[in-house]
Amino acid sequence: MAVKIPTMSALIVFLALLSLSHSCYGELTPGHYKDTCKDLEKIVFGIVQREFTKNATLAPLLIRLYFHDCFSNGCDASLLLDGPSSERKARPNLSVGGYELIDAVKTELEQKCAGLVSCADIIALVTRDLVFLASGFKAKYEIPMGRFDSFVSLSSTVDLPGPTMSVSQTADMFDKRNLSVDDMVLLLGGHTIGVTHCSFFKDRLYNFQNTNKPDPSMDPKLAQELRGKCPDKSTFDGTVNLDQDFFSSNVVDGSFYRQIQSSRGILQIDQQIATDEKTSEIVRGLAKGNGDEFFVRFGQAMARLGSVRVKDKNNGEIRKSCRSCNTPLMCATS
Ligand code: HEM
């Protein structure tokens, strides 16, 4: 619900400052709900497994939703708030989905552990379980909990990297969130699953950096194939798999790194990390071996992403519905 009366603008600024203030980030602990909602993980996994069986695209949707929520203003479920100018309305978030799964989990938890489990923790848990399922039970990680939900969600504050940014620019954005270059390379491994619209990489197929030629860092055979799927003048914005490994484009595994080493990355940033001096060694390490290292390290990086700028009880709440604040007047979404 939007704040409508003019005097509320001061409140919005106050809430925004409160939620951005570095000094009040919350603490996360493993087993945070063990005394208050002891069956939490079992309840969540049951719902996630049931829904994943019906719709496997929930895995890429939630992995991306988790990244977008955590990266912009912290892991505080600000992305879930409905509102005329809330984060959901920002361009990079228009193709984010999976909100109904979070709602389904929240509804069940409000019956079994009312008012106890934050929406931000639900996002982290649901994503963790989907990574486990989509990796064929291989990527299993602990996710500390205790996040609170924010009161502020403004599309104007959405701050996400774009696919044509350089590795250094992207690394700076991760660094501002206390995530290292290693974390960045591991988390970009999230592109082992899911799809991208043609519009995010079409420039690489036809007129790369105004050269009237395709991006020379893309395998010419792949570029030709992709031109068939993303015709130059077409107004229809199709999609292609981010991981071009035919056998594992819908699976969370380390194949993404082998693909980018073979010049088969789709987004420009994905391809760049294979050759940039800051990241190429890390990519080489992850591309080697049977992938066990990736499963462990990807999970650890996902957990670290989950601790970015988390809120505590002083600047957040446990929402009853993930789409709105408990007291709508306290909510800044426009
Ligand atoms: C660092 C810079 C990143 C950039 C520039 C970027 C950009 C993109 C773009 C342009 C898409 C396609 C969106 C669309 O077509 O609607 C996408 C999809 C996706 N991204 Fe990223 N991304 C980044 C990092 C990440 C990270 C860190 C993760 C996960 C931890 C992630 C997970 C995903 C997933 C799973 C999809 C597929 C979504 C689906 O199929 O619905 N991305 N990303």
- Is 69 labeled as ligand-binding? yes
Task: Tell whether 139 and 14 lie within a shared domain.
Answer: yes
Nearest CA to ligand 1 atom 23: 188
Q: Does residue 68 have an active-site annotation?
A: yes
CATH of the domain at 24: 1.10.520.10
Task: Tell whether 322 and 221 lie within a shared domain.
Answer: no
Ligand 1: centre distance to CA 64 (Å)? 6
70 domain-assigned: yes
Task: Tell whether 87 and 219 lie within a shared domain.
Answer: no
- Measured CA to CA, the distance from residue 188 to residue 192 in angstroms comes to 8
Ligand 1: centre distance to CA 30 (Å)? 27
3 domain-assigned: no
**Ramachandran angles phi, psi of 241, nearest 5°:** -70, 140
- Measured CA to CA, the distance from residue 173 to residue 168 in angstroms comes to 9
Q: Is 273 in the pocket of ligand 1 (CB under 6 A)?
A: no
Number of domains in the chain: 2
* Per-residue tens of pLDDT for the chain, all 334 residues: 344 444 545 544 444 444 444 444 568 999 999 999 999 999 999 999 999 999 999 999 999 999 999 999 999 999 999 999 999 999 999 999 999 999 999 999 999 999 999 999 999 999 999 999 999 999 999 999 999 999 999 999 999 999 999 999 999 999 999 999 999 999 999 999 999 999 999 999 999 999 999 999 999 999 999 999 999 999 999 999 999 999 999 999 999 999 999 999 999 999 999 999 999 999 999 999 777 999 999 999 999 999 999 999 999 999 999 999 999 888 999 8
CATH of the domain at 236: 1.10.420.10
Task: Tell whether 136 and 175 lie within a shared domain.
Answer: no
2 domain-assigned: no
pLDDT at position 16 is: 46
53 domain-assigned: yes
Task: Tell whether 231 and 110 lie within a shared domain.
Answer: no
The tokens describing 123, both together, are 């996002």
pLDDT at position 289 is: 73
Task: Tell whether 262 and 325 lie within a shared domain.
Answer: no
26 domain-assigned: yes
- Measured CA to CA, the distance from residue 207 to residue 211 in angstroms comes to 6
Task: Tell whether 250 and 178 lie within a shared domain.
Answer: yes
Task: Tell whether 242 and 148 lie within a shared domain.
Answer: no
Task: Tell whether 179 and 287 lie within a shared domain.
Answer: yes
The tokens describing 28, both together, are 């996360």
Task: Tell whether 208 and 224 lie within a shared domain.
Answer: yes
In the chain, how long is the greatest CA-to-CA distance?
Answer: 62
- Is 189 labeled as ligand-binding? no
- Is 78 labeled as ligand-binding? yes
- Measured CA to CA, the distance from residue 3 to residue 7 in angstroms comes to 9
Task: Tell whether 117 and 150 lie within a shared domain.
Answer: yes
- Measured CA to CA, the distance from residue 91 to residue 207 in angstroms comes to 23
Ligand 1: centre distance to CA 191 (Å)? 6
pLDDT at position 259 is: 98
290 domain-assigned: yes
Q: Which domain holds residue 251?
A: 167-303
- Is 232 labeled as ligand-binding? no
pLDDT at position 145 is: 98
- Is 175 labeled as ligand-binding? no
Task: Tell whether 272 and 313 lie within a shared domain.
Answer: no
**Nearest atom (ligand 1) to Cα of 195:** 40
Test site for ligand 1: of 65, 237, 242, 260, most ligand atoms within 8 A of the Cβ: 242
1 domain-assigned: no
Please provide the DSSP assignment of 43-70 as one string. HHHHHHHHHHHH-TTHHHHHHHHHHHHH
Q: Is 170 in the pocket of ligand 1 (CB under 6 A)?
A: yes
81 domain-assigned: yes
Ligand 1: centre distance to CA 84 (Å)? 24
Test site for ligand 1: of 166, 196, 197, most ligand atoms within 8 A of the Cβ: 196
**Nearest atom (ligand 1) to Cα of 269:** 5
Ligand 1: centre distance to CA 156 (Å)? 20
